[in-house]
């Protein structure tokens, strides 16, 4: 039976929430294994989690996408015997490529203090054996090319020579639910991903304007699913025209097309807030950054947010486009979002960039009057 050591960071500090957080993390890890048809058992030991599985290599990549984990290592279990530990260190150092020009260090941790060798002694003995039998240069700093780890526990000793990075954050689900507007574009999936990273269960909402954009949105949501183990991403698809068409038509009749984007975004957000209420979600997430397009100005953000019944979270508000693109590539949504582009048919030639709440209220009043007239 193979074994993987999984490390969590921030959630170790969570005080009395710790137990609940780690339970959710184990549950999400199990959901991840299940999604890939991997057999395995998941167990907490001290401040670590261990996965026991016959399919260590297949499990590493999926597990490296579980939020709450900071890193993982395939480990070898050996007897609680200094010779066995040293021998395994030498074997793993060789496997990891230690040799002339490749530096290494050994970090030992004696969780069981009854073991007759202290942590520094274990590190020294293993380090010397590697130097004698494999070569390489000792480098006790973080800069070492290869870091070997030894953990001595009551039941056995563990040795690892390879650390896989994981995304950090908090286990999906521990922080409750948010509605996330997801389009076919680059920004909104990244915004949703950042909230997943902070432990949110995402309720994706897409307003469908045409087939290709909707397919991109669905593919984006599927890509996000590869980070959402333990929380099922069930998209709600609504008709874009139904949500905003009548308002845009009236804005045209009033000669206020410059306000199209403002009223459109407000209509979508209001609907998303409604859905949030229905699903006991506490906020709506969107991909707004500041100043990336003409309509993403501070005055417009103020007017779009005005009187919204739920908080609007904008995790990308401080990001440069290059930073959003880098994250989208990492998540795997960039290629989906950029495979085609369809521009909005209602985008005015000169969208308003300096909206004001006073003007918003005035236009909204005129729209209401038209409605009364219609009736």
Q: What residue ranges bind its own copies (CB under 8 A)?
A: 9-10, 15, 17, 168-170, 174-178, 191, 194-195, 197-200, 282-283, 289-292, 294, 297-299, 301-302, 305, 310-315, 317-318, 320-322
Number of other CB atoms surrounding residue 45 within 10 Å: 14
- The nearer residue to its own copies, 173 or 184, going by C-beta atoms, is 173
CB nearer its own copies, residue 124 or residue 321:
321
> Which of 285, 317, 316 has its CA nearest to residue 179?
285
- DSSP for 66-130, written as a single string: -TTEEEEEEEEEE-S-HHHHHHHHHHHHHHTT-BTTBEEEEEEEESSTTSSS-HHHHHHHHHHHH
Per-residue DSSP letter, 54: S
6/148 with CB nearer its own copies: 6
Q: Which residues pair with 177 in a beta bridge?
A: 201
Task: Give me the least distance between CB of 285 and its own copies, in Å please.
Answer: 9
Question: Distance between CA 22 and CA 130 in Å, rounded?
Answer: 36
Residue 171 C-beta: closest distance to its own copies, Å: 10
Give the nearer residue to its own copies in terms of CB position, either 143 or 211: 143
- The DSSP H or E segment spanning 206 is strand 201-208
* Least separation in angstroms between CB 123 and its own copies: 25
CB of 1 to its own copies, least distance (A): 33
Tokens for 101? Answer: 């020009």
HSE-CB for 13 with a 13 A CA cutoff: 4
- Does residue 178 sit in helix, strand or coil? strand
User: Minimum distance between the CB of residue 9 and its own copies, rounded to whole angstroms?
Assistant: 7
By C-beta, is 152 or 313 nearer to its own copies?
313
* Shortest distance (Å) from residue 358 CB to its own copies: 12
Nearer to its own copies, 48 or 321 (CB): 321
């Amino acid at each position: 039976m193979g074994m993987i050591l999984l490390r969590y960071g921030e959630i170790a500090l969570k005080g009395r929430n710790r137990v609940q957080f780690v339970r959710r993390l184990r549950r999400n890890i199990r959901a991840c294994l299940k999604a890939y048809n991997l057999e395995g058992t998941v167990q907490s030991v001290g401040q670590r989690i261990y996965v026991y599985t016959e399919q260590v290599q297949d499990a590493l990549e999926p597990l490296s996408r579980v939020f709450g984990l900071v890193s993982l290592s395939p480990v070898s279990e050996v007897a609680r015997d200094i010779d066995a530990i040293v021998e395994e260190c030498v074997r793993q150092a060789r496997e990891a490529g230690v040799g002339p020009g490749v530096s290494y260090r050994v970090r030992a941790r004696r969780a069981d203090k009854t073991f007759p060798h202290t942590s520094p002694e274990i590190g020294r003995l293993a380090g010397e054996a590697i130097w004698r039998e494999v070569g390489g240069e000792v480098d006790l700093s973080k800069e070492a090319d290869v870091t070997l780890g030894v953990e001595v526990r009551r039941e056995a000793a563990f040795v690892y020579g390879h650390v896989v990075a994981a995304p950090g954050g908090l286990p999906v689900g521990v922080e409750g639910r948010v509605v996330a507007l997801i389009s076919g574009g680059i920004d909104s999936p990244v915004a949703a991903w950042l909230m997943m990273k902070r432990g949110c269960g995402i309720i994706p909402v897409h307003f469908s304007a045409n087939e290709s954009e909707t397919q991109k949105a669905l593919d984006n949501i599927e890509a996000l699913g590869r980070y959402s183990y333990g929380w099922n991403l069930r998209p709600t698809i609504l008709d874009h025209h139904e949500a905003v068409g009548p308002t845009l038509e009236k804005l045209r009749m009033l000669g206020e097309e410059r306000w199209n984007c403002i009223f459109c975004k407000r209509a979508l957000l209001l609907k998303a807030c409604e859905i949030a209420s229905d699903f006991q979600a506490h906020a709506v997430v969107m991909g707004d950054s500041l100043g990336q397009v003409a309509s993403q100005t501070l005055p417009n953000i103020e007017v779009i947010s005005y009187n919204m019944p739920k908080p609007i979270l904008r995790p990308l508000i401080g990001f440069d486009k290059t930073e959003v693109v880098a994250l989208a590539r990492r998540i795997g949504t960039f290629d989906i979002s950029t495979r085609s582009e369809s521009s909005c048919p209602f985008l005015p030639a000169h969208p308003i960039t300096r909206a004001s709440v006073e003007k918003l209220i005035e236009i909204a009043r005129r729209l209401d009057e038209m409605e009364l007239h219609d009736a």
